Amino acid sequence: MKARVPSLILHRLLIAALTLLIVSFAVYFATSMLPGDTATILLGQSATPEAIAGLRKAMNLDEPAILRFLKWIGGLFRGELGTSYANNMPVAALIGDRLLNTLKLAGLTTIIAVPLALTLGITSAMRRGTLYDRIVTVATVGVISVPEFVIATSAVLLFAVYLRWLPALSLTGDAHGLMGMLRVYAMPVITLTFGVSAQMIRMSRAAVIETLNTPYVEMALLKGASQSRLVLRHALPNALGPIVNAVALSLSYLLGGVIIVETIFNYPGVAKLMVDAVSTRDLPLIQSCAMIFCVGYLLLVTAADVIAILSNPRLR
C-alpha cells in the first residue's frame, strides 16, 4: 500500500511534464501562425524583398517550424529567452524585475485572500441555510459574475472617487514606508482579493458541505458530537484534498486577474509587459511571458494534486 504514494506522485509529475510540453507547443504555434511572417511585420509592408529575405535568413525563418520549435524550447531550458523584437534587449533582462513585482502582488493577495476566503467558506458551510450563508453566497455569485475590470473600476469609484482614501493609480517608485506601500498595492490587491476570494469561498464551501453529508458525519452526530466537532474533527480532514484544490484553482485566477489589474493600475509587472508586447507584436517577449504564466498554473495545480494524494487517508 505504502509504495503507491510515491508512484502516484511520480505519475502526477510526469503528467505535468507532458502537459508542459503540449502547452509550449501550443504557445509556440499560436504565436507563429502569422498571416504575414515575422520578417514582414518587423520591417513593415514597404520593405524591399531583399531586406525581408535577408532578415528571414538571419532569423532562421527558412527552417521548418518543428526545428525552430525545438531550438526555441531548447533555449528555454538553457535560460535563453531570445531577444525582444521591439528594442533588441534580451527578453530575460526585460522580464527580471517585472516578474518580481508580479510575484509581490500575487503573494500579498494570497496572504490576505486565503485565510479570509477559507474562514468565510468553511463557516458558511457550517451554517448553511442561515442568513449569513445566504449573504456570503449571493456576494460570491455577484463577484464571480463580473469582469475584473468592473471590480477594479468599482474599487476606484468607491475608494478613490467617493471616499478619497486612495489614489486611483499605482505610483511606483514611491513604495517607501507603510503608507507608500499601501498606496502602491492597495487597489490592485483589493481587486485581486475580491476575485480570488469569491472563487475560493464557493469551492471550499461546496467541499465542506459535501463531506458534511456523508454517513460518517451522521454517525458522529449520533455519538453526540457537537457541531464544531463534526466540522473540525470529522469533515475538515476529509475535505482537505478538495480544499487545497480549491485554493490552487482560485489562485490560478490570479494569473488572469493580474493581466487586467496591472493594466488598469499601470502596475509594472510581467502581465503589463505582456499586454504591451501584444500591441507591438513582440513575439519572443510574448512567448516567454506566456510560458511563465503556464508554468505558474501547472505548478499550482500539480502542487495541489500532490497535497491531495498525501492527505488521502486511504493511501496511508
Nearer Cβ to other proteins (130/176): 130
* Number of Cβ within a 10 Å radius of residue 88: 7
Q: Which of 199, 238, 250, 288 binds other proteins (CB under 8 A)?
A: 238
- Please report how close the Cβ of residue 113 comes to other proteins at its closest, in angstroms: 18
Report which of 271, 267, 244, 278 is spatially closest to residue 256, judged by C-alpha positions. 271
Cα gap 304→26, rounded to integer Å: 24
Cα gap 316→312, rounded to integer Å: 7
Report which of 56, 72, 57, 64 is spatially closest to residue 24, judged by C-alpha positions. 72
Cell numbers at 267, concatenated: 502596475
- Please report how close the Cβ of residue 99 comes to other proteins at its closest, in angstroms: 15
- Please report how close the Cβ of residue 176 comes to other proteins at its closest, in angstroms: 25
41-45-50 Cα angle (round to 5): 90
- Please report how close the Cβ of residue 145 comes to other proteins at its closest, in angstroms: 4
Q: Which of 7, 35, 64, 78 binds other proteins (CB under 8 A)?
A: 35
Site for other proteins in 101-130 (CB under 8 A): none
Report which of 298, 272, 300, 109 is spatially closest to residue 195, judged by C-alpha positions. 109
* Number of Cβ within a 10 Å radius of residue 258: 26
Cα gap 233→216, rounded to integer Å: 11
- Please report how close the Cβ of residue 253 comes to other proteins at its closest, in angstroms: 9
By CB under 8 A, residue 146 contacts other proteins: yes
Characterise 172 by phi-psi region: left (phi > 0), alpha (psi -120 to 50), beta (else): beta
By CB under 8 A, residue 145 contacts other proteins: yes
- Please report how close the Cβ of residue 278 comes to other proteins at its closest, in angstroms: 4
Stretch touching other proteins by CB under 8 A, among 55-63, 81-89, 111-119, 248-256: 248-256
By CB under 8 A, residue 94 contacts other proteins: no
By CB under 8 A, residue 65 contacts other proteins: no
139-141-144 Cα angle (round to 5): 110
Site string for other proteins, 2-31 (x = CB under 8 A): -------------x--xx--xx--xx--xx
Report which of 242, 23, 298 is spatially closest to residue 118, judged by C-alpha positions. 242
Site for other proteins in 264-303 (CB under 8 A): 264, 274-275, 277-279, 281, 283, 286, 290, 293-294, 297-298, 301
What is the distance, to the nearest Å, from the Cα of residue 252 to the centroid of all Cα atoms in its chain? 3
Nearer Cβ to other proteins (89/157): 157
Q: How many binding residues for other proteins (CB under 8 A)?
A: 72
Q: Which of 40, 83, 110, 154 binds other proteins (CB under 8 A)?
A: 154
Q: What is the DSSP string of 23-69?
A: HHHHHHHHHH--SS-HHHHHH-TTS-HHHHHHHHHHTTTTS-HHHHH
Site for other proteins in 156-185 (CB under 8 A): 156-157, 160-162, 168
- Please report how close the Cβ of residue 283 comes to other proteins at its closest, in angstroms: 7
- Please report how close the Cβ of residue 191 comes to other proteins at its closest, in angstroms: 13
Site for other proteins in 203-232 (CB under 8 A): 214-226, 229
